[in-house]
Amino acid sequence: MIVDLIQYTDATLADLLLFLALSNQHRSTKQSFVMVNAALSIDEIPEELMVVPTLQEAQDVIEMEEIERDLGF
Q: Tell me the per-residue pLDDT of 14-70, one tens digit each, with 9 for 90 and over.
A: 999 999 999 999 999 999 999 999 999 999 999 999 999 999 999 999 999 999 999
Q: Is 44 left (phi over 0), alpha (psi -120 to 50) or beta?
A: alpha
- Tell me the pTM: 0.90
Which stretches within the chain are classed as H helix? Answer: 13-17, 20-28, 55-71
pLDDT at 68: 95
Q: Nearest CA to 40 among 22, 15, 65?
A: 15
Running DSSP on this structure, what letter comes out for residue 41? Answer: -
Q: What residue segments make up the domains of the chain, in order of their start? A: 2-71
* Residues 71, 30: Cα–Cα separation, whole Å: 13
